[in-house]
Structure 1
Amino acid sequence: MENQSAVIELFVKYLQNRCSHDEVKQLLKYFETENDEETLRHLINAELNVENQGSITNSKEDAVLLKIKSALIAEIRQANDQQPGKIRTLTPRLLKIVAFWLLMSVLAIVLFNNYMYNLKKGILQVKLSTIRTSQAELKKVILFDGTKIWLSPSSTLEFPDQLIGNFREIKLEGEAFFEVAKDKSHPFIIHSDHMDTRVVGTSFDVQSYKGQSHYKVTVVTGIVKVSGVNFAKGRDEGVTLHPNQQSQLDKQSGTLKSIEYPDAQLMLRRKDGILNYDSASVNDIVSDLSRYYNLQIDLESKSKSCLFSGEFDTKRPIEIVLKQLAAAINAKVIFQNGSYVLKGGCEE
């Protein structure tokens, strides 16, 4: 008890800039014994008015104590260098600097502990934001970690304003191109209906519109893990994608497969409204064009069975784009009752 009183008295004296050179040495010695060190922890917390948090128990406390010790030792050495062979009272300026760093170091740890405590107890307020793009609208979003997302038309993105737990998780319905900021400690996960896409830091495109028959993930750089639920087998399935590969998830069966996709770099242009296709279903292409132009485009059954390879710049008028598509599949474009219709094609 007597020793604890001595620790408290000396600590208060230190903060009041009244410690001599020998007293600073004595304060340093108190860090060497477990009981005295614990007393100092409580004193530091009390100084910060955080008694309700108790003593610091996080593993980072050792770094704080080491910083405090280093500051005290540096103070002693500086005093000895200035006055060799003499014991001097430390200057108020030095004492204030050491006290300042002592308090700031501990405050940082207390705030971190308080953050984790509130997170575990559900006290921390996390703001969830939702961004929706209308038809014909493209939007760029930058998340709290620096991740860049280019949201395609008719898409919805939901994301938090800060890190929650060990993962960076968001939800996507529709299509978006991602450039994920690297953070190996906190993987980035995109939830899309029955499909999850998991990465660390990479660039890729996700297509997950509700009306699509297949969800697709196309990788430009890095490594991406895609998983989905196989309804027929009643279990999760997963594939690992590398650059120039694409995963395709059949929404009806849940079957997931990966294919080679040599033109993955073209996805970089897709985020800017330039659409590239390689033997794609005309039905899927028309769905894209309807979203990008905010127009109704109808197809005859013959046109639906056609496949198309080529590129469209959605900055050009829709009439020109549809004529380009119609010429490729041997169809005709007709405008009637406020909408466009593709008639014929392929077999004719």
Structure 2
Amino acid sequence: MNNQSSIYKLFVKYLEDNCTPEEVRQLLLYFDDGENEKVLKALIRAELGFVEHDEGSIGKTETAVSKVKSIIIKEISDRSAHESKSKKNYSIKKWLKIAALWLVLIASTLLFFNQYFKNRYKFRNAKQLQYVVTRPAEKRILQLYDGTKIWLSPSSSLEYKDQLIGKFREVKLEGEAFFEVAKDKKHPFIIHTGQIQTEVVGTSFNIRAFEKQHKVTVTVVTGIVKVSVWSATNAKIKQVTLKPNQSADFTKETRTLKTDSVPNIQPEIKRRDGILTYNGTPVPDVIADFRRYYNLSIELENKSVQCLCYGEFDTTKPIKIVLDQLAAAINAKVVYKNERYILQGGCDER
């Protein structure tokens, strides 16, 4: 009985409790041969539905097979030593031992089976995670598996999965991005940004969530967006629902979440292309944006720090043009010294 296909059929037949005593004897004798150990391993995996395995799972298989094989050998040895006893007594002992053998087999392989799929699930999830990081002065446009488009701003990062797992489409954002989310009512799209969770079905909006800035801002262009604040213990503290031309600001220090109207939504759409509009924004925040978009050293003198900025700046243009425009807006001047730009004076000198 050297044919592996026949052994497999006999193995399955035994699991179904349809083997004759002679077939059981043939099966035990076959596995007593050390050269057939690979067949035993393959049969165990086949019956449990294993397709792939890593280094850890191979070790567990080796342990299970060794344990089963030692019991098989002992069974054959005991049978030979007791052949002179009555057939009835031997038959009872033989079946008890075979029952014990399969109990050990089931216990060992089920443990392996459970651990295997835990490892497999972790490996699969880790494999599906994708990371995109933009350097200063670098922008990226991404399209996810569901058709969602994302404009990732400079100095930002996005973590996402390359396929749907579970009920939600989830990403993790650090920095700024503009989203055009593909509509799917059955699988809401969720963006995690620190303590803030933004949930949509299909809509377009912008999120600014830089770690070093004191607030997170979500601005809606189309559709409906739910913005929630979560505690460190994963409890929802507060939630607001935004409609088009509305925004939500979460202030990190006070942990407050407030909404506001946005009369002109076009600046948010232009931001994805690097055209930045400010309407009474503190100049230090404007300079922080310029540093990210140009990857250059830009400093402010004390007077400029107190200024507010109004105007639109196209960051596709050279930095000198953009800084001259900002200086003119706040009545300051630009000085280039030691490979850095310095904004001197401003606003209160008018």
- Seen in structure 2, the aligned counterparts of structure 1 residues 180 and 235 have a Cα distance that, compared at 3 Å, is closer
- State whether structure 2 residue 321 is matched by structure 1 residue 309: no
Residue aligning to 1:245: 246
Alpha-carbon separation, structure 1, partners of 2:271 and 2:194: 22
Identity rate, percent: 54
Alpha-carbon separation, structure 2, partners of 1:143 and 1:294: 28
Residue aligning to 2:331: 330
Residue aligning to 2:210: 209
Give how far 1:266 is off. Answer: 2.0
Q: Secondary structure of the residue that 1:125 maps to in structure 2?
A: helix
Alpha-carbon separation, structure 2, partners of 1:264 and 1:219: 8
Matched to 2:341, the amino acid is Y
Residue aligning to 1:73: none
- Seen in structure 2, the aligned counterparts of structure 1 residues 206 and 119 have a Cα distance that, compared at 3 Å, is farther
- Seen in structure 2, the aligned counterparts of structure 1 residues 119 and 269 have a Cα distance that, compared at 3 Å, is farther
Residue aligning to 1:346: 347
The answer to whether the 8 Å contact 1:135/1:291 transfers is yes
Give how far 1:193 is off. Answer: 1.0
- State whether structure 2 residue 110 is matched by structure 1 residue 125: no
Q: Structure 1, residues 134-157: CA drift from partner, whole Å, max 9, x if none?
A: 111110011111100000000000
Alpha-carbon separation, structure 2, partners of 1:230 and 1:281: 29
Residue aligning to 1:260: 261
Matched to 2:210, the amino acid is Y
Larger Rg: 2
- State whether structure 2 residue 151 is matched by structure 1 residue 165: no
Structure 1 segments (4+ residues) deviating >4 Å: 50-53, 118-121
Alpha-carbon separation, structure 1, partners of 2:224 and 2:118: 31
Residue aligning to 1:190: 191
The answer to whether the 8 Å contact 2:197/2:230 transfers is no
The answer to whether the 8 Å contact 1:282/1:304 transfers is yes
Gaps of 5+ in 1: 1-49, 54-117
The answer to whether the 8 Å contact 1:133/1:152 transfers is yes
Residue aligning to 2:287: 286
What is the correspondence of 1:1-348 to structure 2 with a 5 Å cutoff? 122=121, 125-126=124-125, 127-229=128-230, 236-348=237-349
Alpha-carbon separation, structure 2, partners of 1:123 and 1:154: 29
The answer to whether the 8 Å contact 1:216/1:247 transfers is yes
Give the alignment's TM-score, normalised by structure 1: 0.63
Alpha-carbon separation, structure 1, partners of 2:214 and 2:227: 17
Alpha-carbon separation, structure 1, partners of 2:187 and 2:119: 17
Alpha-carbon separation, structure 2, partners of 1:259 and 1:173: 23
CA-atom RMSD in angstroms: 2.2
The answer to whether the 8 Å contact 1:131/1:158 transfers is yes
Give how far 1:302 is off. Answer: 1.9
Alpha-carbon separation, structure 1, partners of 2:262 and 2:307: 21
Matched to 1:188, the amino acid is F
Give how far 1:119 is off. Answer: 9.5
How many residue pairs align between the two structures? Answer: 233
Give the alignment's TM-score, normalised by structure 2: 0.63
Alpha-carbon separation, structure 2, partners of 1:205 and 1:302: 31
Alpha-carbon separation, structure 1, partners of 2:237 and 2:178: 25
The answer to whether the 8 Å contact 1:171/1:192 transfers is yes
Give how far 1:230 is off. Answer: 7.3
Matched to 1:254, the amino acid is R
Q: Secondary structure of the residue that 1:122 maps to in structure 2?
A: helix
